Amino acid sequence: MEFCDECGSMMKTEGDMWVCDSCGFEKLRDEAKEAAMTTTQGQEEGELVDMSDVDAAEIGPTVEQKCPECDEVRSVRYEMKQIRSADESETRFFTCTECGHKWREDDH
């Protein structure tokens, strides 16, 4: 990803040039610099997080919440993890202390 030196907007590639759609600024592409850039190509979406090997006591604090398995309000352990991009909210992982059922919640 490249940002415009003139206006700061994100630029796109056109052949051997970086072009800014906002102000029209152009500059030559640098192959060595681009090779060092991190891309999203080939990354898998929705990668699962395996919590099965985590001891229940290590999962985190408890809160009262309705367990989808028990269908009752129970004491559940929760943990929050950033598993998506940094500009998205954290995912909350829950484990029912009664039946051991595990689930997660994401903000949409």
Can you give the residue range of the structural domain that contains 80? 56-105
This prediction has a pTM of 0.42
Number of domains comprising the chain: 2
Count Cβ atoms below 10 Å from residue 86 Cβ, excluding itself: 5
78 near 93, Cβ under 8 Å? yes
Q: Is residue 95 part of a domain?
A: yes
Annotated binding residue 101? no
Annotated binding residue 4? yes
Annotated binding residue 99? yes
Annotated binding residue 70? yes
Annotated binding residue 67? yes
Q: pLDDT by residue (tens digit) across 41-85?
A: 665 666 666 766 766 566 568 888 888 888 888 888 888 887 777
Q: Is residue 86 part of a domain?
A: yes
Strand positions, DSSP E, 1-108: 11-14, 17-20, 26-28, 62-66, 73-81, 91-96, 102-105
